[in-house]
Amino acid sequence: MWPGDSVLGRNVGKLPTGPTPGMASEGGAVLSVDQVSKSYGTTRALSDVRFSVGPGEIVGLLGPNGAGKSTAMKLIVGLLRPDAGEIRLRGRNVVTDGVEAKRTVGYVPESPALYEFLTAAEYLDFISDLYGVDPATRGSRISEFLRGLELSGHEDSLISAYSQGMKQKVALIAALLHHPRLLVLDEPLNALDPRAARVVKDLLRDLASRDGVGVLFSTHVLEIAEAICDRVVILSHGRIVAQGTIAELRRQAGLAGSGLEAIFLALTGTGDLTDVVGALRR
């Protein structure tokens, strides 16, 4: 616990969010995805996908299972190459200028694979080395994150002995250490308990509003998207079926006064679930 914390209301200002080097020069989008397509063999995972994330913007990437969210994220961080189209991180092409582009991004995959034979302290030190995090300040930065996410006291245990949520927290800290300008988070709150989920939500808001970090995150929990996203992008079968603020999507779906769930179900073609639920009950 941090001094002055209440049970859920976190003072995220105590987490090491900034200042971030290079922010003054920030102008255009931190991420632009332009007409990107990707297939796995004969499976078309993404078709002509186009969206951007501006500095300080939190964008939710939503869509049913298999819609292409994780594929889009792997393309954005350079783990996969697009078949067509272009992805730029702060103007740098992620394929042709990969090393520089990757310096600017922090990524938490759907199922983070950590080096489990290391302790969390060793792992985070190793990641700091990879990204050239200043050795003079990294120790206190790592300690603050560990404390904020209630991992203090566990940092010298092997990651193999961590619970799923604890591993998720280590992956998140690893993604933040080098002051990324863009965070790409694939269902980052999945395994987290309510307190940790709240800390992370507050932290994302703080990083976006105070430090101008762009955030792209996927989630199936529409309440979370509704609560923290400036905009959402909805994918279905690899295509963008809608993007905009919740208010814009409401208008687009002709569902005045509706929540994101109704909009999502209408736009992804799963609006009438009565038959599905009936079939499942039989």
Ligand X SMILES: Nc1ncnc2c1ncn2[C@@H]1O[C@H](COP(=O)(O)OP(=O)(O)OP(=O)(O)O)[C@@H](O)[C@H]1O
Give me the residues that bind ligand X (CB under 6 A), please: 40, 43, 45, 63, 65-71, 110
H helix or E strand, kind and range, residue 45:
strand 43-53
Residue 65 binding: pick among Mg ion, ligand X, none (C-beta 5-8 Å cut-off by kind)? ligand X
As beta bridge partners, residue 217 has 60, 185
> Helix/strand/coil (H, E, C) string of 107-147?
EECCCCCCCCCCEHHHHHHHHHHHHCCCHHHHHHHHHHHHH
* Total chain residues near Mg ion (CB under 5 A): 3
Chain centroid to Cα 206, Å, comes to: 14
Cβ distance to ligand X smaller for residue 47 or 104:
47
Cβ distance to ligand X smaller for residue 45 or 89:
45
Cβ distance to Mg ion smaller for residue 73 or 229:
73
Please report how close the Cβ of residue 241 comes to ligand X at its closest, in angstroms.
13
Sign, Cα dihedral of 129, 130, 132, 137: negative
Helix (H, G, I), strand (E, B) or coil at 25: helix
* Interface mask toward Mg ion for 89-118; x: CB under 5 A: ---------------------x--------
Please report how close the Cβ of residue 49 comes to ligand X at its closest, in angstroms.
11
Please report how close the Cβ of residue 207 comes to ligand X at its closest, in angstroms.
23
Residue 97 binding: pick among ligand X, Mg ion, none (C-beta 5-8 Å cut-off by kind)? none
Helix (H, G, I), strand (E, B) or coil at 102: helix
Q: Are strands 182-186 and 214-218 parallel, antiparallel or unpaired?
A: parallel
Question: Which of 52, 70, 104, 119 touches Mg ion (CB under 5 A)?
Answer: 70
Please report how close the Cβ of residue 186 comes to Mg ion at its closest, in angstroms.
6
DSSP string, 152-170: TT-TTSBGGGS-HHHHHHH
Cβ distance to ligand X smaller for residue 28 or 269:
269
Residues that bind Mg ion (CB under 5 A): 69-70, 110
